Structure formats: structure tokens, C-alpha cells
Structure 1
Amino acid sequence: MSGHSRKEDEVRRMLDLPHPPVPVDLPARAAARGVRALNRRRTARLLFWSFVVVVVIVFAVWAWVVEPWTVPPSEKTPPLEGW
């Protein structure tokens, strides 16, 4: 008997055994756990996008107030000799 058919025989014997009883409330518990996971994922997504929106708004306000794209005024003026 080859190793492959021996494994098949073992699997068939395991499947022929009586199955363990399943708790009656298992589907309800699984559905409740799925709903909790879905709510948790939805809340995390909402918090992430809220954080992104707040960061974009803060950056826009900062850029509007500071105007980092403009050249700062020079500290001293050039000499006016020879006029």
C-alpha cells in the first residue's frame, strides 16, 4: 500500500467517526461576532478618514497663514552708494 492511499484511508476513517455535537447557539454567536467585527472595522475606517480630513484642513490653514511658497524679505538692504 502506497503512502498516498494510506493517508486517504486514514482520512476516510476519521470522516466515518460520529461528528461532535454543535452548540445550538453557534450560528447566533458567529453572527454577533461578525457584526462586532464589521462595526469595529467601520469605526476604524471612519476614524482614519476623519483624521485625514483634519490633517488636510490643518495643513491648508497653516499654508494659508504662513505662505511658505513666498520668498522671505531680505534681512538687510543693499548699499546705496554712488547715487
Structure 2
Amino acid sequence: MNRPQREAAARQIMENAPAPMPPDLYAEAVRRGERLLRRRQFVRRVLWLLACAAAVAFSVWAARVHPWTTPPSQTTPPITGW
């Protein structure tokens, strides 16, 4: 198929009437879109809740354990100068 034939075929396709759409297509698309948005919003809220819970848990743990201090020595140092 050469270029003029492709152009003629494209023109013919564009000049034809659009294909008929089901009457409930718009309502179905809106319903699915709203459901998708609600699901995303729920997931986002759950993730924020988990992040906040993790931050609180880490803060409580760090306040009780003090991981930034050095642990006490397990053995006594050698005694010199007696």
C-alpha cells in the first residue's frame, strides 16, 4: 500500500460515523473511577498511619534504650600500680 492509498484509507476511516457506544459506558467509567479513587485514598491513609505508628514506636524505643550511649564493659580493666 503506497502513501496515497494509505491517506485515502485514513480519510475514509475518519469520515465514517463513530462506532456506537453502550449507553451505560459513562456511568460505569465514573463508578469505577470513584471506586479507584476511594481505594487509593484508603491505602494512602493506612500508609500514613503506619508511618506515624513506626515513628512513635521508634521514639519510645529510643527513649527507653538509649542506643546512642556506649554499653558498660563486660570485663574489669586490669589493675596496675599496686
Q: What TM-score, normalized by structure 1, do the two folds share?
A: 0.80
Question: Aligned equivalents of 1:69 and 1:16: distance in 2?
Answer: 75
The reply to whether residue 77 of structure 1 matches residue 76 of structure 2 is yes
Query: Helix, strand or coil for the counterpart of 1:24?
Result: coil
Unpaired segments of 5 or more residues in structure 1?
none
Q: Partners of 1:49 and 1:20 in 2: how far apart?
A: 45
Q: Which runs of 4+ in 1 moved over 4 A?
A: none
Instruction: Rate the CA distance shift 1:36–1:82 in 2: closer, same or farther, 3 A.
Output: same
Deviations 1:14-42 (A, max 9, x none): 12223221122211111111101111111
Q: Distance in 1 between matches of 2:72 and 2:10?
A: 82
Gaps of 5+ in 2: none
The alignment yields a C-alpha RMSD, in angstroms, of: 2.0
Report the counterpart of residue 41 of structure 2 in structure 1: 42
**What is the TM-score with the length of structure 2 in the denominator?**
0.81
Percentage identity across aligned positions?
40
What does 1:1-83 correspond to in 2, within 5 Å? 3=3, 5-83=4-82
Equivalent pairs counted in the alignment come to 82
